[in-house]
Amino acid sequence: MANSNLSNAKNAKNDEFYTQYHDIEKEINAYLEFNPDVFRDKTVLLPCDDPEWSNFTKFFAQNFARFGLKKLISTSYAADSKKYKTGYQPTLFEVNDPQFDYNKTTKNGKIFSLTHDKTGDGKIDVNDLEWHYLEGDGDFKSKEIKKLQDEADIIITNPPFSLFRNFLAWIVQAGKQFMIIGNMNAITYKEVFPLIKENKAWLGATGNGSDMVFAVPKGAEVDEKDRQKAARLGYVGDYTRLGNSCWFTNLDHGRRHQTLPLMTMADNLKYSKHKEIKGKESYDRYENYSAIEVPFTDAIPSDYDGIMGVPISFLDKYCPEQFEIIGSNLTHGIPMFEVAKKGTFAQGGPSFYTANGDSTFKRIYTRILIKHKNTKK
Ligand SMILES: C[S@@+](CC[C@H](N)C(=O)[O-])C[C@H]1O[C@@H](n2cnc3c(N)ncnc32)[C@H](O)[C@@H]1O
């Protein structure tokens, strides 16, 4: 119970992580390189944002004309509804505006929209954003935000960590295009994996599985280890880092069409840089599923035409023209007690196991099952 409270508190805190401008820029550039018109005449919705200081809003407002956007909509969630309270203070921008409402500032969400050069200064930027309070608190599940979703072509955000599954389901059921930040481990969620397997969603182009640095509300508690890691990356102060962050999307980018250069199985066994492979007679096979264990993406043999189990980080290199995704240990792991009548193994979840050769079995970490589309001999 204490543990689950702790983890709820941690998840709620992670709901308030703010994305860096250059992380957004880097990712968006990859889509533009692939298709310079990806945003042309499109309505982009940025839900779960805090438009007054969000880098998503800033980035798309500053690039509105260059991208040829039709409309930008950005919404925020009311301070009173947030699970993690951060000592809310309205911004001077809001307080100095004639619309400022003392009662609504904490209870209502806000909507910012941009369609044209409102100020008439000859350019479109953040100064042309128009805003008002939402009727409700800006919950993405509300009817009010659903209407904005209907209007949008592309939905982009870093959704609240604790609601990632619900958020993705919300976009997918609406059939919208999206780019959202999440955690690599979400790949194995039962709501996410089928989308990846069927090529209805994939990883974005940048930052996959690496440490991403996020700004946190002023004075927010941050794990000291994470604060130091962020500092080592050059972010000192109200910043933290989240390992294994990545973008999930259904918009195409060039990176996912680059095939992975690989060695043959014989060459891997002879020359691999991994001691787990080099010098062995063959790749290990699972006891409870007919596939070979490939513990590193760069050790995938180019000439093996059977099924292979690879770590989830493989998805960063996944090219749908090169490989087919068959499943994972969660979908295909046969319970060990059905396979190994004797022997010792650590139980836990549907995992794959390899034999240690002494009647004990090693439980293998999460694996995705893949197969070459065209084996290179
Ligand atoms: C991880 S932060 C990201 C903020 C911003 N998109 C960015 O990346 O800088 C997620 C935001 O979603 C808000 N949020 C939490 N629950 C929400 C909900 N049910 N509906 C809409 N927004 C929510 C949080 O309060 C927070 O402002």
The full 3-state SS of 38-84, as one line of letters, equals: CCCCCEEEEEEECCCCCHHHHHHHHCHHHHCCCEEEEEECCHHHCCC
| Residue minimizing CA distance to atom 15 of ligand 1 | 160
| Residue minimizing CA distance to atom 7 of ligand 1 | 18
How confident is the model over 35-82, as pLDDT tens digits? 999 999 999 999 999 888 899 999 999 999 999 999 999 999 999 999
Output 101-108 pairs: Cβ under 8 A, ≥24 positions apart.
101/133, 104/133, 105/79, 106/78, 106/79, 106/80, 107/78, 107/80, 107/137, 108/78, 108/133, 108/134, 108/135, 108/136, 108/137, 108/138
| Residue scoring higher pLDDT (14 or 56) | 56
| Residue minimizing CA distance to atom 5 of ligand 1 | 49
Residue 327 — left, alpha, or beta (φ > 0 → left; ψ -120 to 50 → alpha)? left
The residues with which 324 forms a beta bridge, in sequence order, are 371
Alpha-carbon distance values, 25 to 62, 113, 268 (Å): 11, 20, 37
How confident is the model over 73-111, as pLDDT tens digits? 999 999 999 987 777 888 888 999 999 999 999 999 999
Q: Ligand 1, closest atom to CA 161? A: 1
The Å distance, Cα 16 to ligand 1 centre, comes to 6
Q: Ligand 1, closest atom to CA 140? A: 20
pLDDT, mean over the chain: 91
DSSP-H helix ranges across 137-287:
143-151, 164-174, 193-197, 224-232, 265-271
Q: CB under 8 Å to 363, separation ≥6 — which residues?
A: 345, 346, 347, 348, 351, 352, 353
Distance CA(25)–CA(348), nearest Å, equals 41
Q: CB under 8 Å to 175, separation ≥6 — which residues?
A: none
How confident is the model over 137-166, as pLDDT tens digits? 999 999 999 999 999 999 999 999 889 999
What's the token pair of residue 291? 């596939």
> Among 110, 88, 111, 109, which residue's Cα sits nearest to residue 217?
88
To test ligand 1's pocket by mutation, which of 45, 46, 77, 143 has the most ligand atoms within 8 angstroms of CB? 77
Side chain identity at residue 115, one-letter code: T
Ranking 10-24, 112-126, 294-308 by mean pLDDT, the lowest is 10-24
What's the token pair of residue 91? 């911004």
The Å distance, Cα 108 to ligand 1 centre, comes to 14
| Residue minimizing CA distance to atom 18 of ligand 1 | 139
- Rounded average pLDDT over 181-199: 92
| Residue minimizing CA distance to atom 11 of ligand 1 | 48
The Å distance, Cα 99 to ligand 1 centre, comes to 23
| Residue minimizing CA distance to atom 26 of ligand 1 | 16
| Residue minimizing CA distance to atom 17 of ligand 1 | 139
> Among 253, 233, 251, which residue's Cα sits nearest to residue 241?
233
Residue 132 — left, alpha, or beta (φ > 0 → left; ψ -120 to 50 → alpha)? beta
The Å distance, Cα 102 to ligand 1 centre, comes to 22
| Residue scoring higher pLDDT (368 or 338) | 368
What's the token pair of residue 131? 């805003």
The residues with which 352 forms a beta bridge, in sequence order, are 364
Burial of 309 (0-12, 13-18, 19+ CB in 10 A): buried
Q: How confident is the model at residue 1 (pLDDT cuts 50, 70, 90)?
A: very low
> Among 97, 94, 26, which residue's Cα sits nearest to residue 55?
26
Q: How confident is the model at residue 10 (pLDDT cuts 50, 70, 90)?
A: low
**Domain spans of the chain?**
2-256, 258-372
- The length of the chain in residues reads 377
Q: Mapping DSSP to helix (H, G, I), strand (E, B) and coil, where does residue 132 land?
A: strand
Q: How confident is the model at residue 329 (pLDDT cuts 50, 70, 90)?
A: very high
Encode 317-351: b = buried (16+ Cβ within 10 Å), e = exposed.
bbeeebbebbbbbbebbbebeebbeeeebeeeeeb
Asked whether the whole model's pTM tops 0.85, one would answer yes
The Å distance, Cα 262 to ligand 1 centre, comes to 41
The residues with which 361 forms a beta bridge, in sequence order, are 345, 355
| Residue minimizing CA distance to atom 6 of ligand 1 | 49
Q: Ligand 1: list residues with CB < 6 Å.
A: 15-19, 48-50, 54-56, 77, 82, 138-140, 157-158, 160, 163
Distance CA(7)–CA(1), nearest Å, equals 10
How would you classify the pairing of strands 202-203 and 239-249? antiparallel
Q: Ligand 1, closest atom to CA 18? A: 9
The pLDDT of residue 57 is: 97
What's the token pair of residue 349? 């979840």
The Å distance, Cα 145 to ligand 1 centre, comes to 13
The Å distance, Cα 313 to ligand 1 centre, comes to 26
The Å distance, Cα 276 to ligand 1 centre, comes to 42
Ranking 10-14, 224-228, 346-350, 353-357 by mean pLDDT, the lowest is 10-14
Q: Which of the 8 DSSP states describes residue 285?
A: B
Distance CA(135)–CA(369), nearest Å, equals 47
The residues with which 249 forms a beta bridge, in sequence order, are 179, 202
The Å distance, Cα 247 to ligand 1 centre, comes to 16
